[in-house]
Amino acid sequence: MKSFLSGCGLLLALGLFAAGTVAGEHSATMPAPRDANWKVRADLLNKRIKETPDAQLLFIGDSITQGWEGGGAKEAWEKYYGNRKAVNLGIGGDRTQHVLWRLQNGNLDGVKPKAAVVMIGTNNSNGEDNTPGQIAEGVQAIVKELRTRQPQMKILLLAIFPRSENFSPQRGKLTQINQVLQKLDDGQNVHFLDIGHRFLNDDGILPASIMPDYLHLNQRGYEIWAEAIEPKLAALLGDKAVK
């Protein structure tokens, strides 16, 4: 009887191990590049890093981050980050796995920034591509990669911004992910900040006057973003807040 129970215990342990292994193997946590056009942009970002060895601030993300380079956002970028040796590491369409690949392939080489602003995961939330848990694990993997490669760098992890004009299952999915990401805040190296409510009206509507397509920010949207994170970001950088 004892031998039988021991055997059952071993089988159970092996089963749990196997289940855990399978659960951890999903697209959101597996570093991966994209197509040739994407590689051009990724190489450009690596070039930026090489040309800015004294970079003090990184912005890491997808098209919402890349949008800081758009005409409407340039004024806010210059006002808040022009004197902070900031580098934009955003690529439109990126998911957590693509950011992971970039961090392992040049985006962090040769620099020692003071801080990074990270916001990623909305593209993983499309349809049934990834579950909320998988997306949270993808973001967690990015934070771990940043902490390993840049231990001196403070991470300002932003909640994934709301999307769609009104309440929706996808917006709810993002809320679930953000609730998990908040647990990554350790008060020292990783700081979580949710500014999503600043983009919404009092009735929960996401106005086109801030996000014309209910996903990407316009000039006013980027101003709201910059204003919302400035007190915390200045503290992490150890400099004076821009007013």
Q: Which residues have CB under 8 Å from 223's CB, separation 6+?
A: 76
Q: Does residue 5 carry a pLDDT above 90?
A: no
| Res. 14 pLDDT band, cuts 50 70 90 | very low
- pLDDT greater than 90 at residue 20: no
Concerning whether 216 is annotated as a catalytic residue, the answer is yes
**208: β partners:** none
Catalytic residue among 63, 164, 168, 194: 63
Q: Return the pLDDT at 132.
A: 98
**Position 52 confidence tier, pLDDT thresholds 50, 70, 90:** very high
pLDDT digits (tens, 9 = 90+) for 186-197: 999 999 999 999
CA distance 194 to 159: 5
Kindly indicate the confidence band of residue 25, based on its pLDDT and cuts at 50, 70 and 90: confident
Q: Is the pLDDT of residue 203 over 50?
A: yes
Does the structure show a pLDDT above 60 at 63? yes
Check if 109 is active-site.
Answer: no
69 neighbors 25 (Cβ within 8 angstroms): no
Average pLDDT over the chain reads 91
Annotated catalytic residue, options 43, 109, 213, 239: 213
% pLDDT > 90, the chain:
88
Per-residue pLDDT band for 164 (boundaries 50, 70, 90) equals very high
Is residue 143 domain-resident?
yes
Q: State the residue range of the domain holding 104.
A: 2-237
Helices (H), the chain: 2-24, 36-51, 63-66, 71-81, 96-104, 132-149, 169-181, 219-237
Structural domain total, the chain: 1
> Residue 26: which H helix or E strand, with range?
none
Position 242 in a domain: no
What's the confidence (pLDDT) of residue 6?
37
**For residue 243, is it within any domain?**
no
Query: Is 127 among the domain residues?
Result: yes
Q: Is residue 219 part of a domain?
A: yes
Q: What single string gives the DSSP state of each residue in 61-105?
A: ESHHHHGGGSHHHHHHHHHHHTTTTEEEEE-TT--HHHHHHHHHT
For the cut 70, the answer to whether the pLDDT of residue 198 exceeds it is yes
Compute the average pLDDT of residues 73-83: 97
Query: What's the CATH code of the domain at 29?
Result: 3.40.50.1110
Max intra-chain CA distance, the chain: 75
Residue 153 has pLDDT above 90, yes or no: yes
Active-site annotation holds for 26: no
